[in-house]
Structure 1
Amino acid sequence: MWERFSFYGMTAILVLYATEDTDRGGLGMSAGDASLLYGLYMASVFLASVPGGWIGDRVLGAQRAVLYGGALIGLGHLSMAVPVSWSLYPGLLFIALGTGLLKPNMAGLLSAFYDREDRAGRDAGFSVFYMSVQVSALIAPIVVGALGEGVNWHLGFGAAAVGMGLGLVQYVRGSRHFGDVCRAPERSATPAERTRVLRGTLAATALVVVVYGVDAALGTFQLGHMMALIGLLCVGLPIVCFWRLLRDPVLTAEERVRVRTYVWLFLASAVFWALFLQGGSAFALFAKDATDREVLGWTVPASWFQAAIPLFVLVVAPLFAWLWTRAGDRVPTVGKYAVGMGATAAAYLVMATAATLASDGTRVSPLWLLVAFLLLAAGEISFGPIGMSATTAIAPATFVSQMVALFWLAGALGGGLGGNALKVSGDRVPGPGWFLALGTAALATGALLLLFRRPLTRRLGV
């Protein structure tokens, strides 16, 4: 729950804080640079799930990985509570590392309580889990937005630290009911493997610090330079991870076929996350600058609109869980992805219409944003829990957390692409053509999923 509070709290105010004038406590960034920062953070959160998944599968076990990940997220928010502008950056780093540990291992822990053949039950269970954690996601934009926009930005950033502390206490108390499930890795890394990974990590970290340190010392550093590295990692890391996984001798021939076919789900997920994560950047700017937020003489904070998606997820998740259970095997994972992509395309077409109405400077009704967020929520419930469920079902037995990390790595690729999308548009508030182009991309992806659903389902087995 509190990881979601952290995520949606950051979604609510990060871009608003970055674009706020410095004399009002913000960073004074342009909309394009703020979107790059947002994309950098989002991509880093998802990229960190790759080492986080490996650590859970091979070193700590999922139970401890979730605990340590939550602690790092709490430390990150404590750092950001310090009222100086530079505290944002170490805080973002801690949060990204902690989320990378928590995300894949939480899914791996949950999947361990389901039989591998119980596909409908697993999908419904992940949908209910996804719905449950949305409670804090609903509260986060309201609490963090009110504190950040209304009182002090750093107070808003630090709010999640309190909740994460309480959440960790509850997790430790409740973990005794897990028994030995995921308490230790099924296939622990050997001392030689741990040493090799540690040396490689230290060498890569040192290289990055030196290169960007020189860049900063020369006075030439820009966010785009960091985004270039993240972009390379977003593209290169999935290739390396899939290649290494497919070469592992532990995999059977059937498992290799499933993993190869999973690449297509990975690419569809990347498209979805690139579009969905615009809710915290392009949609947030539209709420701030092009939406009528006056209610009885009071201006609704722009950040509060970010509560709409988790609210709608809470509303539609039980319906989708019932539908997936009732449909059983008749609606495969690829079909559910197609439904989600169709809903996402519809959201962008709604926003294209709203942007057309706002193109003359008129502020439009908030109902446009709310309808778009409802459709994005339907897309998320068709991709998030279904994707995690399918990934854990497809994953070889000793690679569950690492496969879930690959699922979130699609989010990294999507976050990197999405972070550049607004920069490319060149507009502070995206115009109707921008929304229409992305909506068309979603529609085309959904059509391809429908067209190839049968051969993909046959190879995936889910």
Structure 2
Amino acid sequence: MSTAGVTARRVPDTAAPAARTGRRDRSFAAVFALDLWERFSFFGLATILVLYLVAPVGEGGAGLPAVDAAAVFGAYLSLGFLAGLPGGWLTDRLLGPRRAAIAGGALVAAGHLTLAVPATAATYLGLLCVAGGTGLVKPATAALAALTRRGRANTQATFSLFYLAIQVSALLAPLVVGTVAERVGWHAGFAVAGAGMVTGLVWFVVGTRGGGTERTAHRMSPAVRRGCVRWAVVLVVVVVTVALLAANRLVTAQQVLIPLGLSTLAAPAAFVAYLLRGERITGPDRRRTIGLVILLAASSCFWMIFAQDASVLGVFARNDVDREVGGWLVPAAWFQSLHPLFVLLLAPLSAWWWGRRSRSPRTLGFAVALALAGGSFVLVAAAGRGPVSPWWLVGAYLLQAGGEIVVGPVGLALAARLAPPGRRGQFLGLYGLFAAFGVVSGNQLYRLTGLLPLPLYFLLCGLAVVVVAVLLAAVSPRVDRLLRAGGTAA
């Protein structure tokens, strides 16, 4: 999207320093709450969506084949990732982070409440609203977190604390929403997820009232404004048309998913080329951007491993792990709760660490995180075929959690800190695009399990990521110099 004709100006905060400090403290709690409830609604929806789609119509479900249900879920995730880039642009150039967070949160809540309506068209419309709202609210909340007093003091420690919200939601949402969906009904489950989003949104609006974070106003030329309106109208018409066709079974979910997947894979490279072309980013900002892109590209390997927790590791848990404890068979799906549990336990340690070492080298930490992720698959490969001890899988999830507390919060913090003026939301959206690239790649690699023995597949994937980690460690001094270009500490 062109930014020609857009002038950004900072609106000064003239409040007294003590008052600003108090408001920023409240603002951090409000932003934290919004992120926690947004993730609650996301994980709650993710828990029951596919189950609802495949459930027979007589049981209140949509009655889709399993393949189509998985494709709908994949299309929803892809749209949510892709929406992060225009959402970041709107945050930077038009709305500002607070208004973008409110608009995105309201759209997410509206989407969940639309899903609560027992109608096929409402299902697809609701998913579109949730995906679009997520694309707005995620870059906006991350930008707001960096603008609070705590975020300004130490961005890495702040985003490590934010990871607490994600893991708490990942643990609680499936239990709450899943229980309501099972005992009351699918649409009641969607309504509960929406109620959580409304709770977070109200808390956020009240907690950030009166300012306390930097606001940015933008003046757009009439030509740019007309261009934005035209693109928005075209996009809405295309998306709604496709949704209606899918709702009436005139196109299959697989046909929708293929172009979305290809767009997700191409989007990071296309946006980086756009940023670095011409005079959009110059001087030290350009060198810092190149360093950040190297780290984010490498982090895609972590998300590639992470994306297979519910697929290849889930199959391994079901077929190859000795799950019997005292005559009782532990459900295979329970093992997936180990990852968020370990991240939840490690996140406070990570926040404390970055609080004491806010200027530590970043690239070497990313390399170690990638090595841990790759090592998790190598560990499972060493376990061989089952039945094997569950401790092999526990160790794998622990290694992945150790990698995520670096790649997740530190990657977000770097994107927020290194973004040139007026581009913080877009850089946070770029972080999401590289994560999406890894997720889509992991889902495609999973198809190889039909051709390769499972231990060999684990070994090849794990070693490939370890090799990337070694290469990143080898170039870490150069990348760190890029990140610190112009005397700005990364």
Shorter-chain TM-score bucket reads: 0.7 to 0.9
TM-score in terms of structure 1 length: 0.84
Does residue 232 of structure 1 match 2:262?
A: yes
Match of 2:425 among 390, 401, 425: 401
Match of 1:58 among 79, 85, 93: 93
- Amino acid of the structure 2 residue aligned with 1:391: A
Match of 1:431 among 434, 445, 454: 454
Shift of 1:14: 4.3
Correspondences of 1:34-433 after superposition (within 5 Å): 35-83=70-118, 87-113=122-148, 121-148=154-181, 152-176=185-209, 178-179=211-212, 181-183=213-215, 185-207=216-238, 221-247=251-277, 249=279, 251-287=281-317, 303-329=333-359, 331-353=360-382, 356-358=384-386, 362=387, 366-426=390-450, 431-433=454-456
The Cα offsets for residues 248-269 of structure 1, whole Å up to 9 and x where unpaired, read as 7464411112223322122112
Name the SS for the 1:279 alignment partner.
coil
Verify the 8 A CA contact 2:303 2:439 in the aligned structure 1. Answer: yes
Distance change (3 Å), C-alpha of 1:212 and 1:100:
closer
Moved more, 401-410 or 338-347: 338-347
Structure with the greater alpha carbon radius of gyration? 2
Match of 2:472 among 449, 453, 456: 449
Moved more, 308-317 or 62-71: 308-317
The Cα offsets for residues 113-157 of structure 1, whole Å up to 9 and x where unpaired, read as 369996xx2211211222244322221122233344666444434
Gaps of 5+ in 2: 1-35, 485-489
The RMSD of aligned alpha carbons is 3.4
Shift of 1:23: 7.3
Name the SS for the 1:332 alignment partner.
coil
- Amino acid of the structure 2 residue aligned with 1:201: A
The Cα offsets for residues 177-234 of structure 1, whole Å up to 9 and x where unpaired, read as 643x244x34444343232022123334545666787899896x44332222113322
Moved more, 367-376 or 293-302: 293-302
- Amino acid of the structure 2 residue aligned with 1:336: G
Distance change (3 Å), C-alpha of 1:212 and 1:70:
closer
Question: In structure 2, how many angstroms separate the alpha carbons of the residues matched to 1:353 and 1:148?
Answer: 39
Does residue 458 of structure 1 match 2:481?
A: yes
The Cα offsets for residues 399-450 of structure 1, whole Å up to 9 and x where unpaired, read as 11111111111122223223323345348x9933333332222212211211
Moved more, 142-151 or 410-419: 142-151
- Amino acid of the structure 2 residue aligned with 1:233: S
Identical columns (%): 39
Question: In structure 2, how many angstroms separate the alpha carbons of the residues matched to 1:194 and 1:234?
Answer: 27
Shift of 1:107: 1.0
Verify the 8 A CA contact 1:334 1:450 in the aligned structure 2. Answer: yes
Verify the 8 A CA contact 1:141 1:307 in the aligned structure 2. Answer: no
- Amino acid of the structure 2 residue aligned with 1:442: V
Name the SS for the 1:357 alignment partner.
coil
- Amino acid of the structure 2 residue aligned with 1:8: F
Aligned length: 449
Verify the 8 A CA contact 2:376 2:396 in the aligned structure 1. Answer: yes
Shift of 1:306: 4.0
Verify the 8 A CA contact 1:44 1:412 in the aligned structure 2. Answer: no
TM-score in terms of structure 2 length: 0.80
The Cα offsets for residues 370-414 of structure 1, whole Å up to 9 and x where unpaired, read as 333222222221111100111111110211111111111112222
Gaps of 5+ in 1: none
Question: Which is bigger in relative contact order (C-alpha 8 A, separation at least 6)?
Answer: 1
Question: In structure 2, how many angstroms separate the alpha carbons of the residues matched to 1:115 and 1:252?
Answer: 29
Distance change (3 Å), C-alpha of 1:90 and 1:303:
farther
Question: In structure 2, how many angstroms separate the alpha carbons of the residues matched to 1:176 and 1:295?
Answer: 52
Question: In structure 1, how many angstroms separate the alpha carbons of the residues matched to 2:377 and 2:81?
Answer: 24
Distance change (3 Å), C-alpha of 1:457 and 1:156:
same
Distance change (3 Å), C-alpha of 1:191 and 1:415:
farther
